[in-house]
Structure 1
Amino acid sequence: MIWELVYKIFVDTLNLWKPYTFPSPMDVLNTLIDLIGDNTLFLAIIASLRRLFIGYIISLVVGILVGLFIVKYKYIDENLSPLILGLQTIPSVCWIPFAILWYGINENSILFVTVIGSIFSIAISTEAAIKNVNPIYVKAARTMGASGRKLYFNVVIPSALPGIVSGMKQGWSFAWRALMAGEMLSASKGLGQVLMAGRDLGDVSQVMAVMIVIVAFGLIFDKLLFGKFEKSIRYKCGLERKN
């Protein structure tokens, strides 16, 4: 309703904006229906989700392992943590030239950008979650005889799970953004490619339609996957009451 009201005021009434720069909700809806009707949107979603899952799983495994090693070994923590923090500040689009030079314009370059876009945030979140574990848990476990690997995997990591899951959610959002950046420049199909096609054709309705699809998938995965998982972990850790 707000969108339609803004369109009526600034496009229809005041003529401050042009229809081809700010479309109405109905224009975007019609474009979305057209994209669904000719299977363009369906094929793009399948291609993007496949790349996203592969890239995210790789970044998840590597990122958690890197975070664990940083906490485990002081030398790695002192020398690698600042580097990872610095690399995290680099926008995903900056990695695209490297991806094209190293892998060419193909699927591998898109996967590389997706992985590199989320791996550092997952590593940093894992490191922070483990370092912020309440020392009382560790002391209590040691008084009961836990030490070494048993202490680490039975007490420290389970206590850090809420923070690790939050890092997984953040890594998922970074992977989405990195994937769109990669697809907009080198993909033959995918949501990013459909987005760029809309820009090349000057069809802002198509651009906004794809953006709405991206937002919808982000909300769906957050509510159905990460939301429930995070709530379950927080309940088991005593941080949240069960409704």
Structure 2
Amino acid sequence: MTTEPRKDTEDLAPAVNRELAGLDALELTVRSRRNPIARLWSAAWPVLAAVGIALALWQLVVLSGWKESWVLPGPADVLPELWNSVTSGSFWGAVGLTMQRAVIGFAVSVLVGTVLGLAVSRFGVLRRAFGSLITGLQTMPSIAWFPLAILLFQLSESAILFVVVLGAAPSIANGLIAGVDYLPPILLRAGKVMGLRGLSQYRHLILPASLPAFVAGLKQGWAFAWRSLMAGELLVQIGTTSSVGRLLSDSRELSDTAAMISVMLVILVIGIVIDQLFGLADRTLRNRWGLNAAD
């Protein structure tokens, strides 16, 4: 009496698996048949339209006469200045120094934020002791740390790194804490049943399952790190070294508004490019987890 239903279930399982495999193959085929040029255009035209609208609004403000042209130059004055900047070697040397500082500061922030987030999320005593403090540090303006940083490290790279880490690490830690908090308890129990303990549990279960929230925390941490770095380069100018923040400060002191706005555009473009890289990582993660619907 009990063998027949079990046999029917066993016979039904391969058929269900074949049907699901067929649906997956159909979805992949539909995606692969899409013209690459059409995909590129569908991704590019909203960006191009947004840039065109922004330039048009900018030009309209200039034409309105709200401010003199030397105070607020239009795109016709700024874009040639931007072209002259990006075609000079000294400009790329400044960008290189800024990106070097950004990568080092963000890497240290990821290390500190990950260790802090894992410790606080898994130990209740640390959560009660430091949970609110981490959130408070996250909401604190980065520029408020610079007087202390300059007193501790003088006008040095360490002062900039200090503020970048304090600005980014709390956001990364909070992202990881949120990811761990939303792990299903049954998943943790299953990991223990499978023998995952200690570091192996973090490596093979907790960190992979927390990746979506962790990536969101990394993205927010980068935003805080980038803002902290720009503030640092404006306030902490080391010798004759040239950076993006230094170029911005020099153009302001020389009242060269066109050059100043061109540097601001470079800062904006770098931020957009990094955001796209984080978006690519997020889409890759979603594809791996099967969360992206067909276009």
Which residue in 1 is equivalent to 2:292? Answer: 240
Which residue in 2 is equivalent to 1:193? Answer: 246
Which residue in 2 is equivalent to 1:11? Answer: 62
Question: Match of 2:268, as an amino acid?
Answer: V
Please tell me whether residue 217 in structure 1 is matched to residue 270 in structure 2. yes
Please tell me whether residue 107 in structure 1 is matched to residue 160 in structure 2. no
Offset, 1:36: 2.8
- Quick check: 186-195 or 131-140, which moved more? 131-140
Task: Provide closer, same or farther for how the CA distance between residues 85 and 10 of structure 1 changes in structure 2, counting only shifts above 3 A.
Answer: closer
Question: Match of 1:194, as an amino acid?
Answer: L
Which residue in 1 is equivalent to 2:255? Answer: 202
- Quick check: 168-177 or 232-241, which moved more? 232-241
**Matched residue of 2:101: which SS?**
helix
Name stretches of at least 5 consecutive residues in structure 1 with no aligned partner: none
Which residue in 2 is equivalent to 1:36? Answer: 86
Task: Provide closer, same or farther for how the CA distance between residues 78 and 242 of structure 1 changes in structure 2, counting only shifts above 3 A.
Answer: farther
Q: Distance in 1 between matches of 2:183 and 2:283?
A: 18
Which residue in 1 is equivalent to 2:279? Answer: 227
Q: Distance in 1 between matches of 2:269 and 2:291?
A: 28
Offset, 1:105: 0.6
Matched-pair contact (CA < 8 Å) for 2:118–2:177: yes
Question: Match of 2:145, as an amino acid?
Answer: W
Q: What value does the CA root-mean-square deviation take over the aligned residues?
A: 2.1
Q: Distance in 2 between matches of 1:129 and 1:136?
A: 15
Task: Provide closer, same or farther for how the CA distance between residues 28 and 74 of structure 1 changes in structure 2, counting only shifts above 3 A.
Answer: same
Offset, 1:239: 3.0
Offset, 1:219: 1.8
Task: Provide closer, same or farther for how the CA distance between residues 167 and 3 of structure 1 changes in structure 2, counting only shifts above 3 A.
Answer: closer
Report percent identity of matched pairs.
35
Q: Deviations over 1:6-28 (max 9, x none)?
A: 4554433x422211222211211
Q: Distance in 1 between matches of 2:220 and 2:280?
A: 15
Task: Provide closer, same or farther for how the CA distance between residues 236 and 108 of structure 1 changes in structure 2, counting only shifts above 3 A.
Answer: same
Alignment of 1:144-163 (within 5 A): 144-163=194-213
Which residue in 1 is equivalent to 2:129? Answer: 79
Question: Match of 1:11, as an amino acid?
Answer: V
Question: Among 139, 142, 152, which residue is 1:89 paired with?
Answer: 139
Q: Considering only CA atoms, is the larger Rg found in Structure 1 or Structure 2?
A: 2
Matched-pair contact (CA < 8 Å) for 1:122–1:171: yes
**Matched residue of 2:136: which SS?**
helix
Q: Distance in 1 between matches of 2:96 and 2:78?
A: 21
Matched-pair contact (CA < 8 Å) for 1:159–1:237: no
Please tell me whether residue 61 in structure 1 is matched to residue 111 in structure 2. yes
- Quick check: 39-48 or 133-142, which moved more? 133-142
Matched-pair contact (CA < 8 Å) for 2:171–2:217: yes
- Equivalences, count: 241
Offset, 1:39: 2.6
Name stretches of at least 5 consecutive residues in structure 2 with no aligned partner: 1-51
Q: Distance in 1 between matches of 2:269 and 2:250?
A: 20
| TM-score normalised by structure 1 residue count | 0.90
- Quick check: 128-137 or 92-101, which moved more? 128-137
**Matched residue of 1:33: which SS?**
helix
Task: Provide closer, same or farther for how the CA distance between residues 80 and 202 of structure 1 changes in structure 2, counting only shifts above 3 A.
Answer: same
Matched-pair contact (CA < 8 Å) for 1:198–1:204: yes
Offset, 1:38: 3.7
Task: Provide closer, same or farther for how the CA distance between residues 45 and 138 of structure 1 changes in structure 2, counting only shifts above 3 A.
Answer: same
